[in-house]
A and B are shown apart, each in its own frame.
Chain A
Amino acid sequence: MITRGPRQLLAEVQQPGLCIGCGSCVELCPYFRSHGGKTVMLHDCDLPEGRCHAWCPKTELDLEGLAQELWDAPYSAQGMGPHLAVVAAKAGPRLEAGSYQAGGTVSALVCAALEQGLVQGAILTGGRGLDTAPTLAQTPEEVTACAGSKFTAAPTLAALNQAQAQGCGPLAVVATPCQSAALAQRRAKPWPQRGAAGPAELVIGLFCNWSLDPQGLARFLAQRVELASIRSMDIPPPPAGVLQVETTDGSLEIPLDEIRDLIPPACAMCPDMTSEWADLSVGMYEGRPGWNTLVVRNEKARTLTEAAVEAGWLVVEEFPVANKEHLVHAAQGKRSRGLGAALAQGLLGVSGEDQPKALRVSPELYQAVESGEVA
């Protein structure tokens, strides 16, 4: 596991435009801050090694190394990451109806984790419309206040760093795949020297194909609607192919093709659709409105899910085999596209080599990507 310093972080991630603004490096120190969706360095720091670099999901993300360390298993080009079960899920009767988007599974799981005492709080991405606001939620009301999909990257992990610095107990994070990867870096690269900042107790990952650059989307939408009037946004399942923008004056549908240019370059090289590094992953359930797909990845996740069902927070049903095959196919597709893009940009390396790389895989997988077998 290779770690360098903040100057290298700038050179390897910021300057090539790979920073996704996840907030992992923000609020750990006085140097990195997030503003308007961008992570910026306020002052020069010359440390040769730092948490900012160690925990960044866009540099030295050694997939093989992390898998060995965290899963005790090799990283596979197949499937959708380790899991015990995939189920259909939606919020149960305990979660107030109408307080959540789609199935409400994420909100339900967070509420259950809080009630169980598994965590003292959860870091969620609140806000409305374009204004994403990473938030610490500690009650069901605070959780549902954050409900709703956001389609721009948010500095969610900055709020985790802040909450940890303030001495909050164990925390859950609702994380995109890149944020899940950042949290995996934390587990694999602890920083014993000091500080409360570190991994999260529970990571609820989200399915994600790509996000949109917040400032770019704001400029794009500003030409079409009054930004302050945006209430929510959604991308319905295929074949809709649109971004729905709900405003106080009505709704607007924007063809996805028109906003593809707003996808940050960092998303193109992302190999993860289902938040493989999370404890549980939640996504939409294509063809069954009001339900989510829930991937239960480990024992902790299974215990939580069962408790959530028992307590009435969550309802689960069987997930059809055909749907799971479709999900695996999509996950593999994103992985192969991401690894291929990383290879093409010179950002893919082999575990243990010297040159700085954004992503690392085993020599075998590297060869497979190079020869086009993973495609």
Chain B
Amino acid sequence: MEGQRQTMMGNQAITQGALEAGVRVAAGYPGTPSSEIIQNLAGAADEHGLYVEWSINEKVSLEVAAAASLAGLRSLCAMKQNGVNVASDFLLHLAGSGIRAGMVLVHCDDPGALSSVNEGESRHFARMLELPLLEPSDFQEAKDMTKWAFELSEEISNVVMLRSVTRLSHASGGVVPGTIPQAQGKAHFDHHGTLLDKGHGPVSSSPVVYKHRLQQEKLKRAVELFEDSPFNSYTGPEAPELLVITSSICNLYVKEALALLDASGRVGVLKLGTTWPLPPKLLQHNLGRCGQVLVVEEVIPFLEENVKIAAAEMAGEIGAKRFFGKRDGTIPAQGELNPDIVLGALADILNLPYQARPPEYDLLAQEAAPQATQDRDLAFCPGCPHRASFWSLKGALALDARDGFICGDIGCYSLAMRPTGYGMLKTLLAMGSGAGMASGFGQLGRFGMDQPVMAVSGDSTFYHAVIPALINAVHQKSPMSLVVLDNSGTAMTGFQPHPGTEANALGQPVPPVDIEAICRSLGAEVTVCDPFDLEATQAAALALLADQSTAKVLILRQLCALSPQRKGTKPYDVQVDPEKCLGDQCGCNRLCTRVFGCPGLAWEKQSGKARIDEVICAGCGVCASVCPQGAIIKSERA
């Protein structure tokens, strides 16, 4: 639907931009809010002749994309904010060596940590690794900027970073799509030149100082282009009272706030799309407009600090400025922004009486909320194997009675830090860190620590970052147990394939890499169990705890309830026999609804009995094993 305005999700707009730029290879590792980019490109792969893969982790995905670029094909790599940390070692060296065909790294930040356990700032990598940074501020720009990023990348022979945020990636807006070119060009890696020949020689960041100088020279070229970039714009009076400098989705918050305040006549807005390195002439021109500057951006004062450095350097020309932003507390340096926050900041600075909300609003909202919504914590889905797994692990650790604990990491099972997983996770940090930390805790027996330690990891996370940690534990003889919660897919981000699945991102058959075989090959003892078999799982976990002489692995394998294979199917019909249900009496005290806590179970206050919520129940039948009375009856469906 070329040329016709359409509603697109931010990540779809980025995909469209990449396709219009003639991207040929794309790789990434799933992570909210970035996942739809690779997913959409995979969907377009057949039609446009692309190769798209979900790589084992972000670093490898960047390496895969870099290979394409070096062989003359435009490539894209996508990841969430902390994925850049994983990829950054390679990115540092790639930035030093440079690339050939256009290569864009799309990194999607998650201010407010809506789907993350951090609100890490990946923008800093641009400054740290000296790569240009682009930040689209709406959906059309997301598409246009992505396309232009490839051109810029080729202009400076280096990776271009393009940063989105959740509210851009996952919101939708109008985009006019352009033409998608025919795929062309044969891949070939030219390596016959000298080491100094970036276009034709072997690829390395060495000789470092020479290539570093080249990199910095090219960056200067980017700055020249940024000076006239249409992605930077000023709107407002020639000589405003206040200059707002903003970027990314915050531009929309600023626009909305100014409209609500009716202050567009007093405030100028410099919207920057090219946020690193900043174009000095453009800045100087706009900073010269007035004496007060407010920088509006999310999380850390990245833009603010860079603007201040530039302002200091040009102080002779523009004079001293009064800055508002995060450094002085006008704008919070954590959490997401919204129009209300920006509005409050503007009203303060402009001395305008404005209340974002009437004072009684909060009170009324608090009164209304309980009637309209249920008080509910984040929870595992009905039929989720993780609930069953943590139920058994909880039982095993309680029986073991040595104050043992579980180190967790990133996946749906991260929720086990909350009541839905019985609060079983006691550490929750980075991908694969449960295993690494358990390997460390396991060594502390020599200092008197007598608590057994377990780690959990998902199947995708196992490949991503657990394998080195497990090798470490085996090799260092750390008495830890790794429990792999294998639900056969990257469930949390939407069932992307991983090295254990039988099809790749393009739906083609690929050889699955067996977790069990990997663990055995490392010398770890391995037990495999179905977590829906509560008794066997608890026994297996207890056995791990009883003999912690070496590193051991327990694989709890059961399909995710939302997996494409399982979704919508109900293995069992489940019912409660009210005659047998003890309810809240001594002997049960609502074990199923009060403790086990599957959303498919409901407590009938009036009758004092449990009930299955037919609509929600996924029919896994685990609650039948939980009920001490045998009052929950599961029968196989025909």
Residues of A within 8 A of B (CB): 28-31, 33, 35-36, 38, 40-47, 49-51, 191, 193-195
- Nearest residue, chain B, Cβ from A52: B586
367-415 of chain B: CB within 8 A of chain A: 394-395, 398-401
Chain B residues within 8 Å of A50, by CB:
586
Chain A residues within 8 Å of B394, by CB:
42-43
A257 to B416, CA, bound (A): 47
- Nearest residue, chain A, Cβ from B546: A36
A195 to B586, CA, bound (A): 9
B239 within 8 A of A: no
* A29/B398 in contact, CB under 8 A: no
A-binding segment of B27-35, B305-313, B588-596: B588-596
Chain A residues within 8 Å of B595, by CB:
43-44
* A42/B587 in contact, CB under 8 A: no
- Nearest residue, chain A, Cβ from B592: A30
The majority secondary structure among interface residues of chain A is loop
A41 to B586, CA, bound (A): 15
* B395/A42 in contact, CB under 8 A: yes
A-B contact pairs, 11 of them (CB 8 A): A29-B589, A36-B399, A36-B401, A40-B399, A42-B394, A43-B398, A47-B584, A47-B589, A51-B587, A195-B586, A195-B587
* A194/B586 in contact, CB under 8 A: yes
- Nearest residue, chain A, Cβ from B542: A35
Chain B residues within 8 Å of A33, by CB:
395, 398-399
Chain A residues within 8 Å of B626, by CB:
30
* A35/B591 in contact, CB under 8 A: no
* A42/B399 in contact, CB under 8 A: yes
* B585/A194 in contact, CB under 8 A: yes
Q: How large is the interface on B (under 10, 10 to 19, 20 to 34, 35 or more residues)?
A: 10 to 19
A191 to B587, CA, bound (A): 11
Chain B residues within 8 Å of A36, by CB:
399-401
- Listed residue (A30, A31, A51) with the most chain B CB atoms within 10 angstroms of its CB: A30
Among A38, A40, A43, A47, point to the contact of B586 (Cβ < 8 A).
Answer: A47
- Closest CB of chain A to B59's CB: distance in Å? 42
* A193/B401 in contact, CB under 8 A: no
- Nearest residue, chain A, Cβ from B582: A194
Q: What are the 10 A-B residue pairs with the smallest beta carbon separation, nearest first?
A: A35-B399, A30-B628, A50-B586, A42-B398, A29-B587, A43-B595, A40-B401, A45-B589, A30-B591, A40-B398
Q: Given A35-B400, A40-B399, 5 other A-B contacts at CB below 8 A?
A: A30-B628, A35-B542, A41-B398, A47-B589, A195-B586
- Nearest residue, chain B, Cβ from A191: B586
- Nearest residue, chain B, Cβ from A45: B589
Chain A residues within 8 Å of B591, by CB:
30-31, 43
Chain A residues within 8 Å of B422, by CB:
43
Interface 1/0 per residue, B565-597 and A, CB below 8 Å:
000000000000000001011111101000100
A116 to B585, CA, bound (A): 37
A248 to B278, CA, bound (A): 83
- Nearest residue, chain A, Cβ from B628: A30
Chain A residues within 8 Å of B395, by CB:
33, 42
A64 to B269, CA, bound (A): 86
Chain A residues within 8 Å of B400, by CB:
35-36
- Closest CB of chain A to B424's CB: distance in Å? 12
A194 to B584, CA, bound (A): 12
418-451 of chain B: CB within 8 A of chain A: 422
- Nearest residue, chain B, Cβ from A37: B401
* B588/A30 in contact, CB under 8 A: yes
- Listed residue (B395, B585, B586) with the most chain A CB atoms within 10 angstroms of its CB: B586
* B399/A29 in contact, CB under 8 A: no
* A46/B589 in contact, CB under 8 A: yes
A31 to B628, CA, bound (A): 10
- Closest CB of chain B to A108's CB: distance in Å? 36
- Closest CB of chain A to B392's CB: distance in Å? 11
- Nearest residue, chain B, Cβ from A193: B585
Known contacts A194-B582, A194-B587; A29 and B401 CB within 8 A of each other: no
Chain B residues within 8 Å of A35, by CB:
399-401, 542
* A28/B587 in contact, CB under 8 A: yes
- Closest CB of chain B to A8's CB: distance in Å? 14
A49 to B585, CA, bound (A): 10
